[in-house]
Chain A
């Protein structure tokens, strides 16, 4: 099961759903289950017929796309997320993923290569040592999970905008996508990719980023919800084609800004 921070009592609904989704691999079945679950709430509310429910789900997805646009409009590229003193760091910082702590991926540091593809000038794959040799910065910021809880942590690494400049990324492109060693994937908008606090994270709390927080590298964005911050990143690509995401494809809002 997902380990939560100690103050969160009881069984966690989102964790249960996560586990259930893991077990239900057939997409059609997953879709059916989700539809019927939503339907339960729906019929409770309005007594709508089964046929209409598909329409309601589509309408909700459309509103979610509208909310993406609203958030892109609200997003101020120069507005910084609040930072905190180190004394406020949440200890232990909660582990969270779509799988349990027993399934945390172990990535081999020596054979690790970060692939960079898409609309970039320099497509060479990066070793961990090369990434560590780049200028590093620290941030103590609040991580806010879509489940509602939040925790303050300290992340260190390379400012993502400087990395994008280094690889000659086309910053007029719409999206930056991420593929991860734990089969997670997600994508973000270019303005957030260029935000000064968006960081290619290599360390946590002054030490090498441990596997539970995404060794060897994660993307840290204090301007987005937790599920937008991919761990164990293996490939980064710049694109104008909407890449979606693991949770986003199931209904979480794509922009996921805070």
Chain B
């Protein structure tokens, strides 16, 4: 019976999803330690939840995982656009539909009968995290090579602005992950779907 169930997530999507999980966990945890070296807010991240042991170690992790995030993200976006999945799964998307679905969801009445379809709030959330990840990579490029990417640096203001952009984009990503994990906890079968595809 299970065999007759249609594939919801193709193999390439599941693979890029889990590779992205590895990259994001490494980047966020090492990034927190890098932030701790010169915090621009009145707080630091607890050492226990950071990666790298010291600044040099954290940077090594960060500048290793950045290749995985960028390469994997690029493959995901290309396949997503190339297979047409981007347009069929995430569009159409209207503000009205988002508000309606959000209201329904908050009342706990959103239907999950058709796992093939994302509701409007999901569509918005997933598109948001795609754009946010692109912003993380671009602001990260400015932090890594502010002299070599002058156009990007100017677009983001300057080096110091790029630091803030990178930080807030990280915070937004972590916020997404928190909601995403809460949703998976509410509907555990979505985790199975992301592992076996259906």
Q: Which of A10, A63, A147 makes the CB contact (< 8 A) with B44?
A: A10
Please encode chain A, from 77 to 88, with 1 for each CB lying within 8 Å of some chain B CB and 0 for all others. Answer: 001111000000
Q: How far is the CB of B24 from chain A (nearest CB, A)?
A: 12
Residues of A within 8 A of B145 (CB): 71, 74, 257-258
Contact between chains at A250 and B51 (CB < 8 Å): no
Given contacts A13-B44, A45-B29, A61-B60, contact A150 B37 (CB under 8 A): no
Given contacts A8-B38, A13-B37, A223-B147, contact A41 B53 (CB under 8 A): yes
Q: Which of A4, A60, A223 makes the CB contact (< 8 A) with B64?
A: A60
**Which of A138-146, A170-178, A209-217 faces chain B?**
A138-146
The A-contacting residues of B in range 21-61, CB under 8 angstroms, are 25-26, 29, 33-40, 42, 44, 47-57, 59-61
The A-contacting residues of B in range 50-106, CB under 8 angstroms, are 50-57, 59-61, 63-64, 67
Contact between chains at B148 and A75 (CB < 8 Å): yes
Please encode chain A, from 115 to 155, with 1 for each CB lying within 8 Å of some chain B CB and 0 for all others. Answer: 00000000000000000000000000010111111100000
Contact between chains at B159 and A144 (CB < 8 Å): yes
Given contacts A144-B146, A222-B147, A258-B146, contact A37 B29 (CB under 8 A): no
Q: How far is the CB of A48 from chain B (nearest CB, A)?
A: 13
The B-contacting residues of A in range 51-82, CB under 8 angstroms, are 59-61, 63-64, 67, 71, 74-76, 79-82
Contact between chains at A253 and B63 (CB < 8 Å): yes
Residues of A within 8 A of B25 (CB): 45
- Dominant SS at the B interface? helix
Contact between chains at B53 and A34 (CB < 8 Å): yes
Q: How far is the CB of B162 from chain A (nearest CB, A)?
A: 10
Contact between chains at B29 and A41 (CB < 8 Å): yes
Contact between chains at A63 and B64 (CB < 8 Å): yes
A14 within 8 A of B: yes
How many Å lie between the Cα of A222 and that of B153 in the bound state? 15
Residues of B within 8 A of A41 (CB): 29, 50-53, 57, 61
B14 within 8 A of A: no
Residues of A within 8 A of B175 (CB): none
Q: How far is the CB of A177 from chain B (nearest CB, A)?
A: 20
B150 within 8 A of A: yes
B163 within 8 A of A: yes
Contact between chains at B52 and A67 (CB < 8 Å): no
How many Å lie between the Cα of A185 and that of B59 in the bound state? 21
A247 within 8 A of B: yes
How many Å lie between the Cα of A246 and that of B5 in the bound state? 60
Please, could you name 5 A-B residue pairs with CB atoms under 8 Å apart, sorted by A?
A38-B54, A38-B57, A41-B50, A63-B64, A146-B55
- Nearest 4 pairs between A and B by C-beta? A37-B53, A251-B56, A147-B37, A41-B51
Query: Can you name 17 extra interface pairs (CB under 8 A) apart from A37-B54, A252-B59?
Result: A34-B53, A36-B53, A37-B57, A39-B53, A41-B51, A45-B25, A45-B29, A63-B67, A142-B146, A147-B37, A148-B34, A150-B160, A251-B54, A251-B57, A253-B63, A257-B147, A258-B145
